[in-house]
Structure 1
Amino acid sequence: MAKKLPRGIRENKGTYEARAMINGIKITLYGSDLKALIEEFTEAKEKAKSSQDYRKNRITLNEWFEEWFSTVKAHRVKETSINPMKNNFKRTFGFYIGSKKIRDIKPMDVQQALNTMEKDGISNSAMREALGRLRECMDFALGSQMISVNPCLIVEVPWTYKKAKEEIALTQEEQNEFLNEVEDSWYKEMFYFMFLTGVRVGELGGLQWPDINFARKITEINRSLSCSYYNGEKREILVTPKTVNSTRQIPFMGEIEEILKSQREKQARLKKELGNRWRGKEELGGLVFTTSMGSPCSRYIVEKEIKKVIKKRMREKEAVLAVQEHREPKIIRDFHPHTIRHTFATRCFEKKMEPKVVQKLMGHSSISITMNIYTHVLENKMNEEIQKFGSANTEQTNPYADLNIPKRTITAMSHC
C-alpha cells in the first residue's frame, strides 16, 4: 500500500517535491529525505505566513499604493500619465490618510478625507480620479488578503448632487469677433485651424507637416504633444493620441487649405530670418504650429493667446467708457481652448451634419459623447423648431383663437 504523504508533498522518481502558495508567496522544495523535507516545508510555510502577517500589520497606504502602482498599474498606462497619476494621489489621499496602515483604514477615514479635500478647495475631478484609483488599489489589497473589506465602497461623494460645469460653445457671432481680433496675430492660422477641425490642443501641438496631405486634401491626426514636468524639468514629447478613435483623417473644410499654405509660407520665411535662433526641436520634427520663435504650441501658449484677446477687448471697453462715448465695443466672454473644440462640433450640427460623421471628425471614443453636444444644440433650437409644427387641422382656422388661452411654454412641456 502506497505511503500517504502530507498535503502539498508528492513523490517523484525516488525524491520528494513540496509545493504551496501561502498568501501570494510561492514555495517549492525538493529532497530525498521525507522527514527533513516536511520540517523544511513546515518552516517555510510559517515564514510565509508571518511575513504576510507582518506586511498586513505594518504597511501604510502610501507604501501599498507605491507597490501596487509600480507592479500593477504603471505598465498599463502611457509613460506620460504615470507622474500625473501618482501626483494626483499624493496630494489627495496620500496627503490626508497616506500614513495610516491599510488594515486600519475604515470608510469613515475615506469619507473624512473627502470632506476635508472639498473644504480645502480640491476640484471634483481631482477627487473623483483619486477615489477611483484608491478603489482599484484597495481592491487589489482585498484580493491579496491584506484587508478584509474595501473601505471605499460606501462613502458619500461630494460631487453627487453638483451639476457639472456646462461647456458653452461660442456663438457664430462670438467666433467671428474672436477671429477678427486675431487677424494680425502670428497665431491667426492656428486659431482658424482649430475652429475648422475641432482638434484637441495636444493634437494641434503634435501636428507635423507630413500629416498635411494637400493632394488628398486631408489632415491626418496620428500623435499628440505631451507637456509635463519631471523632477522640476519640463518635458515635451510626442505620444500616441488619446484613444484608438483619436487617430483619424479630417477632410479640408472651409478656407483651411489657404490657411495651411499661409502658415507654411509664413513659418518658412520666419525660420530663415531667425536662423540659429529658431527654437524648433529636431526630436519633435517639423511642427505645423509653433510660436514665433519655433517652440511647440502647448496648451499654455494657446490659452495665453486667448486671454490676451479677451483682455484687449476689456481695455477697449474701459477706454470707451472713460471718454463717455455712446458706442460700446462687444466683450468676448472668457473661454478656454477646449471650448473651440466644442464650438466646432456645434457648428457641424448647426449645418445638419449626421452625428456619426461628427463623431468621426472629432475622434470621440463613443457616440454618446457626441450626442451630448447634439442634444445641447437641439435644446437651443427647440423653440424655433416647435413653431414649425403649426395647427392640428391645417384646413380650419383656430376655433380657440378668441378664448385667450395662454400658450404652454417649453419648460412646462419638458415636465410632461
Structure 2
Amino acid sequence: MARKLPKGIRENKGTYEARAMVNGVKICLYGSDLDHLIEEFHQAKEKVKNSIDYRKTMITLNEWFEEWFTEVKAHKVKETSIHPMKNNFKRTFGFYIGSKKLKDIKPLDVQRALNTMEQEGISNSAMREALGRLRECMEFAVGNQMIASNPCLIVEVPWTYKKAKEEIALTQEEQNTLLNEVEDSWYKEMFYFMCLTGVRVGELGGLQWSDIDFSKKCITIRRSLSCSYCNGKKREMLVSPKTVNSTRQIPFLGEMEEVLKSQKEKQKRLKAELGERWRSGEEFSDLVFTTGMGSPCSRYIVDKEVKKVIKRIREKEAVLAVQEQRELKIIRDFHPHTLRHTFATRCFENKMEPKVVQSLLGHSSISITLNIYTHVLDNKMDEEIKKFGVAKTQNDPYSEIDVGKVRITAKSHY
C-alpha cells in the first residue's frame, strides 16, 4: 500500500516535490528521501513564520503579549505577581481584542474594549492596570518595528472624570468602638496590633516571632504573606515586602508589649490544646498572627473578621437604639486598609512629623504620606474656621485666627 503523502508534498517521477505559500513567500523543495524532505519542508515553513515580515503580518496580540511578558517583564516582577498580571490581561484586553492581529489594532479597538469593560462592570483599577501593561507591551512592539505606532496613547480612559473613593480613617470614637467589640475575640491582639503599627495586611500575615525584639522593644518588617490562585490551586507563601522602603523597624508604641505578650501566651496555650490539629506547616510555624486553628492570617481572613465585627456592632447598636428610644447610630463600612490609614491619622493628630510617619508606614514616597497629612489638616482647618464667629471682636473689624502655623486675617462684615 502506497504511503500517504503529507499536505503540500507530491511524488513526481521517482522523486518528491514540496510546495507551499506562507504569507506570500513561495517554498519549493525537491528530494528523493521523503523523510528528509518532510523535515526540510517543515523547517522552511517555520523559518518563514519566524521571519520579521511574517510576524509583522500574522502575530496576534495574545501571542505578542505572551512573548513580551516572558522575555521582558517576567524577570522584573515577583514570582507571585506573574500569574495575577497575566490573568488581568487575559480577562481584559486579551479577551476583547487578543485574537486580533497586532498590526491591525487601532486606537479605536482599544477604546471600544475599554468602553465594553466599563459597561460590564470591570473595576477602574483593573482597567488601569491592564491598559498600563498593554501600553508597555505595544511600546516594545514599536521599538521592535512590529507596528508603526502605539495604539494606546490617544484613548480616553473612563476613570478620568471619576473621583476616586476617598479613604477615610476611623475617628477616635470609631476606633474605640471597634477595639471594645473585639475584647473577647481570638483576633483581639491582631486588631490592636494593626491600630498600633499601621502595617499592611500582607505584612501582618507574614510577621514572625523572630522579627520581634522584646529587649530593644522593636518590630522588624522584612516579609509579607502572599496568597494567590494558580490554575485553581491556592498558593500561600512568604515573600519580600512590597517595596524597598517596606523593610523597616517599628518601635513599640502604646500598649504594644502587652499586646504581643498576650498573643504569644494565648497562641502557646492553644497549640498545646490542639496538638496535631494545629494547622501551621513548617514554613508558617513561627507566625505571630494565625487563625484559631493555626492557619496564616491571609487578607481574606482579616477582611472577613472586620466584616463580622461591623455586623456585631450594628446589631448591638440597633438593640440599644430601641431600648433608649434614640436615633440609630450607623457605623460605616470599612476594610483592613482603613486601619493603616487610621494609624497614620492618629500619628498626625499627635503632631508626629510626616517623614517619621513615612518611615513607620514604609511608604515609597513622602507624597503618599502627605496625602493623609493634608486630609488631617483639612479637617483641622474646618474646625478652626468654625471658630470665626466667636473669634471676632466688637470693636475691631479685623480678627486674627490661628490655624496651625498659618495666620489668617479676616475682615468682619458685621
TM-score range, shorter-chain basis? 0.7 to 0.9
Name the structure 1 match of 2:373.
374
For 2:203, the equivalent position in structure 1 comes to: 203
The 3-state SS of whatever aligns with 1:284 is coil
SS of the aligned residue for 1:85 comes to helix
The offset of 1:333, in angstroms, is: 1.5
One-letter amino acid of the counterpart of residue 55, structure 1: R
Instruction: Label 1:105 to 1:399 Cα distance change in 2 as closer, same or farther (>3 A).
Output: closer
Q: Provide the C-alpha distance between the structure 1 equivalents of 2:94 and 2:236, rounded to a whole number of angstroms.
A: 27
Q: Which residue of 2 aligns with 1:17?
A: none
How far has the Cα of 1:384 moved from its partner?
Answer: 3.1
Partner amino acid, structure 1, of 2:238: L
TM-score by length of 2: 0.82
RMSD of aligned residue pairs (Cα, Å): 2.6
Preserved CA contact (<8 Å) 1:313 1:331? no
Distance 1:400 1:352, change over 3 A: closer
After TM superposition, give the deviation of residue 111 of structure 1 in Å: 0.5
Query: Which residue of structure 1 lines up, in the alignment, with residue 58 of structure 2?
Result: 58
Distance in 2, matches of 1:297 and 1:291, equals: 6
What's the offset of the Cα at 1:245?
0.3
The SS at the match of 1:315 is helix
Alpha-carbon distance change, 49 to 279 in structure 1, aligned in 2, over 3 angstroms: closer
Aligned partner of 2:224 in structure 1 is 224
CA distance in 1, matches of 2:247, 2:172: 28
Residue-by-residue CA offset, 1:146-168 (whole Å, 9 max, x unaligned): 11111001101111111111000
Inter-CA distance 253–329: structure 2 relative to 1 (3 Å threshold): farther
Q: How does 1:395-414 map to 2 (within 5 A)?
A: 397-399=395-397
After TM superposition, give the deviation of residue 283 of structure 1 in Å: 1.4
Please state how far the C-alpha of 1:329 moved relative to its aligned partner.
6.3
The answer (yes or no) to whether the contact 1:277–1:293 under 8 Å persists in 2 is yes
**How many residues were matched structurally?**
357
Residue 320 of structure 1, CA deviation: 5.1
- Which runs of structure 2 are paired with 1:121-136 in the superposition (5 Å)? 121-136=121-136
For residues 138-195 of structure 1, the C-alpha deviation after alignment (integer angstroms, 9 at most, x for no partner) is: 0111111111111001101111111111000000000000000000000000000000
Structure 1 residue 284, shift from structure 2 partner:
2.5
Q: Residue 398 of structure 1: SS of its match in structure 2?
A: coil
Does the 8 Å contact 1:192/1:259 carry over to 2? yes
CA contact (8 A) 2:318 2:328 kept: no
Contact 1:138–1:150 (Cα < 8 Å) also in 2 = yes
Instruction: Give distance in 2, aligned partners of 1:399 and 1:206.
Output: 60
Q: Which residue of 1 aligns with 2:273?
A: 273
- 1:313–1:329 Cα contact (<8 Å) kept: no
CA separation of 1:392 and 1:336: change in aligned 2, threshold 3 A: closer
CA shift for structure 1 position 397 = 3.1
Residue 236 of structure 1 aligns with which residue? 236
Alpha-carbon deviation of 1:330?
Answer: 4.0
Q: 1:7-406 to 2 correspondence within 5 Å?
A: 51-319=51-319, 325-327=324-326, 330-386=329-385, 397-399=395-397
Mapped partners of 1:364, 1:204: distance in 2: 16
Segments of structure 2 that go 5 or more residues without pairing to the other structure are: 1-43, 400-407
Q: 1:385, CA displacement in angstroms?
A: 3.6
Q: For 1:390 and 1:244, how far apart are their aligned partners in 2?
A: 49
* SS of equivalent residue, structure 2 residue 343: helix
> What do residues 118-156 of structure 1 show as CA deviations (whole Å, max 9, x unaligned)?
001011111010000000000111111111111001101
2:328 and 2:188 map into 1 onto residues whose CA distance is 21
Distance 2:49 2:92 in 1: 33
Q: What amino acid does structure 2 have at the position aligned with 1:193?
A: F
Q: Following the alignment from structure 2 to structure 1, what is the Cα–Cα distance between the partners of residues 352 and 52?
A: 60
Query: Quick check: 2:49–2:55 contact (8 Å CA) kept in 1?
Result: no
- Partners of 2:358 and 2:384 lie apart in 1 by 24
Structure-2 separation of matches of 1:388 and 1:215: 47
2:155 maps to a residue whose letter is V
Which letter does structure 1 place at the counterpart of 2:156? Answer: E
* CA positional deviation for 1:108: 0.3
Aligned pair in 2 of structure 1 residues 324, 255: CA closer, same or farther (>3 Å)? closer
> Residues 334-383 of structure 1: CA distance to partner in whole angstroms, max 9, x if unpaired?
10000000000000000000000000000000000000000000000003
The CA deviation at 1:313 is 2.5
Q: What secondary structure, in the 3-state scheme, does the structure 2 residue paired with 1:226 have? A: strand
Are the aligned partners of 1:306 and 1:336 in contact in 2 as well (CA < 8 Å)?
Answer: yes
Cα distance in 2 between the residues matched to 1:383 and 1:101: 56
Deviation readout 1:228-267 (Å, 9 max, x if unpaired): 0112111110000000000000000000100000000000
Residue pair 2:169, 2:342 contacting (<8 A) in 1 also: yes
When normalised by structure 1's length, the TM-score is 0.81
Bigger CA drift: 308-317 or 289-298? Answer: 308-317
> Which amino acid letter does the alignment assign opposite residue 294 of structure 2?
G
The whole-number CA distance in structure 1 between the counterparts of 2:49 and 2:302 is: 57
1:144 & 1:107 partners in 2: Cα distance?
Answer: 19
Unaligned runs of 5+ in 1: 1-43, 402-409
Letter in 1 for 2:221: I
Identity of aligned residues (%): 79
Distance 1:147 1:255, change over 3 A: same
Shift of residue 311 of structure 1? 1.3
Shift of residue 68, structure 1, vs aligned partner: 0.5
